[in-house]
Chains A and B, each alone.
Chain A
Amino acid sequence: MAAIQQGLPLMAMTSDRQADRVVPPSGASAWLTSFTAGAMTFLAVFALALSLASGRLATRWAEALDHTATIRISAPADQLPLQTKAVLEVLKTTPGIAAARAETPEEQRKLLEPWFGPDLPLDDLPLPQLIEVTEGLDGYDAEGLKQRLSAEAPGAVLDDHTRWRRPMAEAAQRLRLLGYLSIALIGAAMAAMITLAANAALSANAQVIKVLRLVGARDSYIARAFVRRFTLRAVTGSLIGAILGTIGVALLPAQDVAGGFLTGLGFTGFGWLLPLALPVLAAFVAFAATRTAAFRTLRRLT
């Protein structure tokens, strides 16, 4: 069934060029179709890139959320080593913790470097000790761990990243959905505009339709003439829009850690081929929109 449906726009484009000839060369409505399809596809490429980038981000954040946590120990300098040792002991005996280790002063310096520069004198600052916790596959009981930590090391605070990672991951998921919704809306808007253009063309060619009926043309033949023309126009415009959109995405700045999400807006690997699917989608949209408009108009013109 899907193969048959996929074949329909292709048939519309390849078969019966005679049917296409019987419709006079149209002006504005046909070019409007090409322009609309091109502009919509251009926008759809960016929406697609946005969706894919948001998806990658959501996945990355969700994975980080699922598998890591940090314990921050704030205590007077003389108690810090003792509390660190106590926390590591607690973690060793906590089910669901795969690994735990204290960050070295050098690692903590690197974490603070973006804000304070490379020459930060760490020894002069009362910095908390950070312990990186890696979660096991089965997970751990965060509430139970917090209670044990408060008993064994009063200065230790468990940050399982949920508080800030989860909203960000959810936001990225929502952004991805918005991207896909944008593509759907762009498709619907394109269908609406092509329907309007097709209706205008059909109305402008009422005399042609009358002549064709007089000589025995079936509705399917007349509809095919219009469908073929509009599908071809839409595919041509959409292909140009897809190419320009892809070039636009490729010209965005390369991904940079400091740049965060905005510089990661693009395609990766085979994802660069995805914009080529948009003209195919446009062909289906144009085919369905024009065919529906044509048959509706032909029934009305009886």
Chain B
Amino acid sequence: MIAFENAAYSYGGGELLSEISLRLAPGSFHFLTGPSGSGKSTFLKLCYGELMPTAGRLTLFDREVRALSRDDIALTRRRIGVVHQDCQFLDHLPLAANVALPLTVAGRAAPAADLSDLLGWVGLGQLADALPPSLSGGERQRAALARAIIMGPDVILADEPTGNLDWDLSLRLLTLLVELNRMGKTILIATHDLNLIRQAKSQLAARVLRISKRRIQLAGADL
């Protein structure tokens, strides 16, 4: 699905990530941890084609990423849902239109009932007409998750999705991601939050990847 083979990424003359070889298998659930500035966000950007590896090989859905055209990358992103900590929206459009945006840009209509169900599933059913600036941090994170999954992506990448949330809201978001994984989605969450990882491992077989000294390792010790 997403596979790195001895890949590296350099920025500004220095190597940020080195010798990365790993494969995100379909239906897997991974956490990515590491100190601030270690390259977690960069790794996620490589995973959805915003950045290109400067060495080695990266394949997205069995296609070498460097061989993809700009249009191909856009189409690949429709198979990958992304949730950022500082999730951005189109502030002039209501929440429902923002959540349906991936369908809109793909030229597909969002059935009202399905959209309503999805908003209800993330607990935002009453806020369909609200504008993004009026939403709280937790509401924005759940709205971003709804937007990330509306196309039925194969992979969901989340970059510090609970960074601005209290513990209750973090758990709620985690529950949604766990549910998605049980539906067969591949999940990768970059986070500092060890409690969140412990909570997830209590519910499913999540694997933890750790960035250390520019390399990504599989964390062996229990958290």
Chain A interface (Cβ within 8 Å of chain B)?
A: 18, 21-22, 24-25, 207-208, 210-221, 302
Known: A212-B105, A216-B106; 7 extra A-B contacts, CB below 8 A, are: A21-B97, A22-B105, A24-B90, A210-B88, A214-B88, A217-B105, A218-B71
Which of B92, B93, B105 meets A215, CB within 8 Å? B105
Establish whether residues A25 and B74, one from each chain, have CB atoms under 8 Å apart when the complex forms.
no
State A221–B103 Cα separation when bound (angstroms): 13
Cβ of B143 to closest chain A Cβ, rounded Å: 12
Whether the Cβ atoms of B89 and A215 lie closer than 8 Å is no
In the bound assembly, the distance between CA atoms of A22 and B91 in angstroms comes to 10
Interface pair A214/B77, CB less than 8 Å apart: yes
Tell me if A211 and B71 are in contact (CB < 8 A): no
C-alpha spacing A210/B84, complex, angstroms? 12
Query: Scoring B residues 71 to 112 as 1 if CB is less than 8 Å from chain A, else 0, what string do you get?
Result: 100110110001000001111110001000110111000000
Contact call A215/B77, Cβ cutoff below 8 A: yes
Residues of A within 8 A of B106 (CB): 216
Q: In the complex, what residues of A have CB within 8 A of residue B102's CB?
A: 215-216
Among B70, B71, B74, B78, the most chain A Cβ lie within 10 Å of the Cβ of: B74
Closest CB pairs A-B (n = 4): A216-B78, A217-B105, A215-B102, A216-B77
Q: In the complex where A21-B93, A213-B77, A214-B82 touch, is A219 in contact with B104 (Cβ < 8 A)? A: no
Given contacts A18-B104, A217-B105, contact A207 B74 (CB under 8 A): no
B115 at interface, CB cutoff 8 A: no
**In the assembled complex, how far is the CB of residue B76 from the closest CB belonging to chain A, in whole angstroms?**
8
Contact A211 B90 (CB under 8 A): yes
* A-side contacts of B91, CB under 8 Å: 24
16 contacts between A and B (CB under 8 A): A21-B93, A22-B90, A22-B93, A25-B92, A211-B88, A211-B89, A213-B50, A213-B77, A215-B77, A216-B75, A216-B77, A216-B151, A217-B105, A218-B105, A219-B70, A219-B74
Note all chain A residues with C-beta closer than 8 A to B142. Answer: none
B40 interface residue per 8 A CB criterion: no
Is B210 on the interface with A (CB-CB < 8 A)? no
> Which A residues are CB-close (under 8 A) to B77?
213-216
How far is B71's CA from A220's CA once the two chains are assembled, in angstroms?
A: 9
CA distance A18 to B74 in the complex (A): 18
Is residue B30 contacting chain A, with contact meaning CB distance below 8 A?
no
Residue from B89, B92, B147 with most neighbouring chain A CB atoms (10 Å): B92
How far, in whole Å, are A53 and B12 apart by their CA atoms in the complex? Answer: 63
Give every chain A residue within 8 A of B101 (Cβ-Cβ).
22, 211-212, 215
CA distance A221 to B151 in the complex (A): 17
Chain B residue numbers with a CB within 8 Å of A25 are: 92
- A-chain residues with CB within 8 Å of residue B105 when the two chains form the complex: 22, 212, 215-218, 221
Chain B residue numbers with a CB within 8 Å of A214 are: 77, 82, 88
Interface residues as binary, B43-70 with A (CB distance below 8 Å gives 1, 0 otherwise)? 0000000100000000000000000001
Most-contacted residue by chain A among B50, B89, B101, B105 (CB, 10 A): B105
In the bound complex, residues from chain B placing their C-beta under 8 Å from that of A24 are: 90-92
Contacts of B147 on A, CB cut-off 8 Å? 215
Bound complex: CA A219 to CA B70 (Å) = 8
Give, as a whole number of angstroms, the nearest-CB distance from B164 to chain A: 18
Chain A residues positioned under 8 Å from B89 (CB to CB):
211
CB closest chain-B residue, reference A211: B88
Chain B residues in 8 Å Cβ range of A208: 90
Q: A213-B77, A214-B82 are in contact. Are A207 and B88 (CB under 8 A)?
A: yes
Q: How far is the CA of A213 from the CA of B50 in the complex (A)?
A: 9
Complex Cα distance A208/B88, Å? 9
* Alpha-carbon gap, A221 to B102, bound state (A): 12
Are B90 and A218 interface neighbours, CB within 8 A? no
B residues less than 8 Å from A212 (CB atoms) = 101, 105
- Within the complex, what minimum Cβ distance (angstroms) separates A293 from chain B? 17
Q: How far is the CB of A50 from chain B (nearest CB, A)?
A: 44
A212 vs B101: C-alpha distance when bound (angstroms): 8
Closest residue of chain B to A205 (Cβ to Cβ) is B90
Docked complex Cα distance between A18 and B77 (Å): 20
Nearest to B72 among chain A residues (CB) is: A218
Give B151's nearest chain A residue, CB to CB: A216
